């Protein structure tokens, strides 16, 4: 269940898992982390534009959550408590590799313009369909780095995860009105950029993903054998995240929303991941007397 949905508050499984975890139940602690891992990871991925960096960040966050779990007193919802840890970590962490290269919409536009356009035949477009989609998804994801981190978090929570102004303001520690204003401004800035840059939103724009694919492959910016965004095991936000946000905040152009809804959402994780390292860490085992 999307933790940023209204329905989440009627789900009592977190409270039960927390109680059992603090009583030393290792399986309960693992299940609690596994429940929120996809959401923490996908926020991280959209924050830093790189799934490998996102995995490291997710591990760091879940270690914090695990070691601080005994401090949760139920004075707020567990959702608010947990994702405030997530937000604070993302705001304070060191700058990631992609954040050094993409810092503004103007700079992003210059980067796209510097990539030589190469026309493709219809047959070549079909042959490179996977790579063209990879560019589209990577471009949409890269646009998020044009925001400040604070703007990015508001946009990711409010637009991609459909957190309404009540939920978003609680997690970010700002007023409801402030959340609405920040989200509205972020949407307008991004839509304005796409209207002036993206040929998929505005046909008058010359920028097309298929024109960039040859240069991206030749410059080794895309590895056809190891795509990062366009993979069969990934869902899309549109498919995975329920639509329940404040409708007053979702009045944007259909094409713009459609492109962002395509962004990949990773929901499945190998059980033998860093979660095992966290659960079996000696400090964690001793902290909660896990068995």
Per-residue tens of pLDDT for the chain, all 291 residues: 889 988 887 778 899 999 999 999 999 999 999 999 999 999 999 999 999 999 999 999 999 999 999 999 888 889 999 999 999 999 999 999 899 999 999 999 999 999 999 999 999 999 999 999 999 999 999 999 999 999 999 999 999 999 999 999 999 999 999 999 999 999 999 999 999 999 998 889 999 999 999 999 999 999 999 999 999 989 988 777 755 444 433 333 567 778 888 899 998 887 667 888 888 888 888 898 888
DSSP string, 89-156: HHHHSPPPGGGGT---HHHHHHHHHHSPP----HHHHHHTHHHHHHHHHHHHHHHGGGS-HHHHHHHI
Instruction: Measure the CA–CA gap between 264 and 239, rounded to whole angstroms.
Output: 10
- The residues that bridge with 236 in the sheet, in sequence order, are 264
Cβ atoms of residues 234 and 266 within 8 Å: yes
Instruction: Measure the CA–CA gap between 228 and 46, rounded to whole angstroms.
Output: 12
Token readout for 125 is 């477009």
Neighbours of 134 (CB within 10 A): 24
Q: What's the CATH number of domain 9-100+268-291, 3.90.1720.10, 1.10.1740.10, 2.90.10.10, 3.90.1150.10?
A: 1.10.1740.10
What residue spans define the domains of the chain? 9-100+268-291, 102-226+234-266
Distances (CA, A) of 126 to 38, 95, 123, 133: 32, 38, 5, 11
Name the packing angle between helices 165-172 and 176-197 (round to 10°).
Answer: 100
Which helix (H) or strand (E) is 264 found in, with range?
strand 264-265
Token readout for 175 is 């007023």
Pairing assessment for the beta strands 264-265 and 235-236 based on DSSP bridges: antiparallel
The alpha carbons of the chain give a radius of gyration, in whole angstroms, of 20
For the entire predicted model, the pTM comes to: 0.92
Collect all residues with Cβ–Cβ distance below 8 Å to 222 and sequence separation of at least 6. Answer: 131, 134, 135, 138, 213, 216
């Amino acid at each position: 269940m999307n933790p940023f949905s209204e329905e989440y508050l009627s789900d009592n499984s977190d409270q039960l898992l927390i109680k059992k975890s603090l009583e030393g139940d290792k399986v309960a602690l693992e299940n609690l982390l596994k429940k929120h891992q996809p959401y923490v990871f996908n926020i991280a991925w959209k924050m830093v534009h790189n799934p490998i960096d996102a995995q490291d960040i997710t591990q760091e966050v879940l270690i914090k959550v695990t070691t601080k779990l005994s401090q949760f007193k139920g004075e707020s919802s567990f959702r608010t408590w947990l994702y405030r840890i997530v937000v604070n970590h993302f705001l304070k962490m060191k700058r990631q590799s992609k954040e050094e290269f993409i810092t503004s919409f103007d700079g992003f536009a210059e980067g796209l313009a510097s990539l030589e356009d190469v026309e493709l035949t219809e047959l070549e477009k079909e042959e490179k369909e996977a790579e063209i989609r990879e560019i589209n998804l990577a471009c949409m994801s890269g646009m998020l780095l044009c925001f400040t981190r604070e703007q990015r978090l508001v946009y990711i929570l409010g637009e991609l995860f459909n957190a309404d102004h009540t939920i978003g303001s609680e997690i970010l520690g700002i007023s409801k009105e402030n959340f609405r204003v920040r989200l509205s401004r972020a949407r307008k800035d991004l839509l304005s950029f796409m209207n002036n840059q993206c040929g998929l939103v505005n046909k008058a724009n010359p920028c097309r993903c298929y024109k960039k694919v040859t240069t991206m492959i030749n410059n080794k910016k895309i590895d056809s054998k190891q795509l990062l965004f366009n993979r069969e095991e990934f869902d899309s936000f549109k498919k995975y995240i329920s639509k329940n946000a404040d409708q007053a905040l979702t009045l944007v152009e259909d094409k713009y929303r459609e492109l962002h809804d395509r962004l990949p959402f990773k929901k499945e994780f190998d059980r033998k991941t860093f979660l095992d390292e966290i659960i079996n860490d000696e400090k964690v085992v001793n902290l909660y007397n896990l068995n």
